[in-house]
Amino acid sequence: MRYYDFLNPSVNFMGPGCVKELGHRCRLLNMKKPLIVTDDFLAKVENGPVAQCLEVLKEAGIDSVIFTGVEPNPKIENCYDGLKIYKDNGCDSIITVGGGSSHDCGKGIGIAATHEKPLGEYAGIETLDNPLPPVIAVDTTAGTASEVTRHCVLTDRATKLKFVIVSWRNVPLVSFNDPLMMLTVPRGLTAATGMDALTHAIESYVSVDANPVTDALKDGNAFSNPRKGTKQDIIDLFRKAM
């Protein structure tokens, strides 16, 4: 028998309308002035995810500042641009609103706010020394799972490479997966993020590092039901398809 670890945010909200809990969760985390990290497009969608989050925060009496400089496949520079807004406005916490790009950029801002070396030097596993500011992730694409992972994927323009900062400190404290935030997702993005989610699902069958918790998640309610499929089933399926 071997040991394993399993990481995810301590609180995860799922289901239509759950984003209404955002303000309450901010108060519980004592967030006084969160930086909302998102992209320019989402910030402009009428009654879209950002507008809805701002409304909930307003109702809860929470002041916030918005940073809309997240690019797809976020660049190191996006994190430092966000950090400037964070510091200039005396922010104390981060709310990421968007897909994997917004979440990873928000994590990168949190790392840059609490670590001295350039972000690229933290590439690798468990490289972070200090706690990040509180991070809440409001997901709008449902594919990457960055809202529940310890990964921060950034792009270095100089090397034209992506790198990953993997740390338990990157896991958001609260995640929101509210399908009402996803109604505006265009078909192409739904397909692309669907493939991302499918890949994660297949990974749980073929990974040599699976454990009882990931197996349970893979099988839906495997704690009470017999397994619905085995790793070999999936491998056979792929062999047939090739």
Nearer to ligand NAD among residue 73 and residue 92 (C-beta)? 73
Token couple for 193: 């993020």
Give the list of residues 6+ apart from residue 61 with CB closer than 8 angstroms, or none. 23
Q: Which range in 85-93, 189-197, 202-210, 222-230 contacts ligand NAD by CB under 6 A? A: 189-197
CA pair distance 83, 86, nearest whole angstrom: 5
189 binds ligand NAD (CB under 6 A): yes
Classify residue 230 by its DSSP letter. Answer: -
Q: What angle do CA 33, 36, 37 make, to 5 degrees?
A: 140
CB closer to ligand NAD out of 26 and 37: 37
- Residue at 90: amino acid letter: G
Residue 108 as a binder of ligand NAD (CB under 6 A): the answer is no
Residue count, binding to ligand NAD (CB under 6 A): 28
State the binding string over 27-66 for ligand NAD (x if CB under 6 A, else -). Answer: ------------x-xx------x-----------------
Tokens at 132, concatenated: 């990040």
- Considering the rule CB under 6 A, would residue 172 count as an interface residue with ligand NAD? no
Find the shortest distance in angstroms from Cβ 224 to ligand NAD.
Answer: 29
Q: Which of 52, 64, 149, 175 contacts ligand NAD by CB under 6 A? A: 149
Q: Residue 81, interface with ligand NAD (CB under 6 A)?
A: no
Residues of the chain by 3-state class (helix, strand, coil), percent to 5: 45, 20, 40
CA-wise closest residue to 112 among 87, 147, 88, 144: 87
Question: How many CB atoms are closer than 10 A to CB 107?
Answer: 31
The residues of the shown chain that bind ligand NAD, judged by CB under 6 A, are 39, 41-42, 49, 72-73, 98-102, 104, 140-141, 143-146, 149, 151, 153, 181-182, 184-185, 189, 193, 196
